[in-house]
Structure 1
Amino acid sequence: MDILLTLARWIDHLNDRFGIIAKYAVIASCLISAGNAVIRYSFNISSNAWLEIQWYLFAACVMLGASQVLRLNEHVRVDLFYGRLTGHGKVYVDLFGLIFFLVPVMSVMLWLSWPLFLQKLASGEMSSNAGGLVRWPAVLMLPLGFAMVLLQGLAEIVKRIAWLMHRYEMDIHYERPLQ
């Protein structure tokens, strides 16, 4: 279990780094958007590349930030009874969702998105818009994001099993019921 917990901590650390990239992608996207608007309305100059880089950065924000959201346990849950559960109940529900939903879905999405990325990389496909950008960097966010969520899901499984075995301390939200 110690080796698996070390691996889980390494995955957490890696996702912390991708979370930082996602955070800066949001800031860069906002600055580019504002700068593009100012230049377009002040000088009547615009480029599709500036518009496309915004959605590339948004893709990075969403796909690289998703694993960090899972790591911090801040993801959205639509569950009528989860909030009323305490410690073990929440962990068992989490484990069920991670094992039977998150891991299989992320595996399939990774499997499907990787060939798409390789195709875009090999072809050097460009946007059809005038002044558009090459597409593969945006498409790379798909398999990379799915892989990071899959890894974080595996790390969360390890941490929850270790918690059940009294080998790992988790956040207090598992200790008290929702009022």
Structure 2
Amino acid sequence: MAISRAIDGLNDRIASVVAWGLLAAVLICAVNALIRYSFNLSSNAWLEIQWYLFAAVFMLAAPHTLRRDEHVRIDVVVGRFSRRTQVWIDLICFFLFLLPVCSVILYYGIPFGLESLRSAEMSSNAGGLIVWPAKILVPVGFALMILQGFSEIIKRIEYLRGRLHESAFVKQAHGPQQEIEAIKQANRID
């Protein structure tokens, strides 16, 4: 469980930092639109930095989303089973889908990102930015997802052994107000 807690903590800290990237992207978008429509000035760099920030939010916060059990599920089917059966389904899906798919993307993403870094790849758009930071997000994001997958596997195995309560990995909020309260509670505890 110490390994699981360390992985959870890492992804929680990354998600907390990356959340500011979303605010930055929104502010850049708003300022860019104001300048473009007010002064008829624009730059591809401003558009690209928005894309990079969104990519960072998406890739680096996805493991945190998995940790909070906020990822897309087919609860209509799985929700009919007992908690133990649901945990077994999670484990099977982590081993058959999450880890293999993330591993393949990581395997191909590392050379993809490193080649872009090595060549100092630039955007083909006039006034565009360097591209490698966005491409490096692919292997980094999927490496973090693999780590979070292992953390989730550890928690579910501990649950099946009777050593962990399901609240450690099951989404607790079901409506918007409950979700807000759960986020507030998580921020107090973490």
Structure 1-normalised TM-score?
0.91
Amino acid paired to 2:29: S
Distance in 2 separating the partners of 1:75 and 1:68: 10
Letter paired with 1:6: A
Which residue, out of 68, 81, 98, partners 1:102?
Answer: 98
Aligned to 1:124: 120
Write the mapping of 1:136-147 to structure 2, written as runs, cut at 5 A.
136-147=132-143
* CA distance, structure 1, for counterparts of residue 101 and residue 141 of structure 2: 13
Unaligned runs of 5+ in 1: 175-179
Q: 2:30 is matched with which residue: 27, 34, 58? A: 34
In the aligned structure 2, how far is the partner of 1:104 from the partner of 1:45?
46
Contact 1:21 1:64 in 2 (8 A): no
Give the C-alpha shift of residue 26 in structure 1: 1.2
Per-residue deviation, residues 117-151 of structure 1 (Å, max 9, x unmatched): 00000000100111110000000110011011110
Match 2:3 to one of 4, 7, 20: 7
Task: Tell which has more relative contact order, 1 or 2 (C-alpha 8 A, sep 6+).
Answer: 1
Q: Distance in 1 between matches of 2:134 and 2:29?
A: 17
Listed one character per residue, the Cα deviations across residues 42-68 of structure 1 (whole Å, up to 9, x for unaligned) are 111111100000000010011011101
TM-score, normalised by the number of residues in structure 2: 0.86
Aligned length in residues: 171
1:19 aligns with 2:15: yes
Quick one: distance in 1 between partners of 2:127 and 2:31?
A: 17
Structure 2 Cα separation of the partners of residues 48 and 148 of structure 1: 30
What per-residue deviation string (whole Å, max 9, x for no partner) do you get for residues 64-118 of structure 1? 1110110001111135420112220110111011111101110111001000000
1:21 and 1:61 in contact (8 A); partners too: no
Q: Is the 8 A contact 1:25 1:61 kept in 2?
A: yes
Distance 1:38 1:77, change over 3 A: same
1:43-54 equivalences in 2 (<5 Å): 43-54=39-50
AA aligned to 2:67 is R
Question: Identity across aligned pairs (percent)?
Answer: 51
Q: Is there any run of 5+ residues in structure 2 with no aligned partner, and where?
A: 171-190
- Quick check: 2:25–2:53 contact (8 Å CA) kept in 1? yes
Runs of 4+ in 1 over 6 A off after TM superposition: none
- How far the C-alpha of 1:20 sits from its partner, in A, is 1.3
Equivalent residue for 2:148?
152
Instruction: Give 1:60's aligned residue.
Output: 56
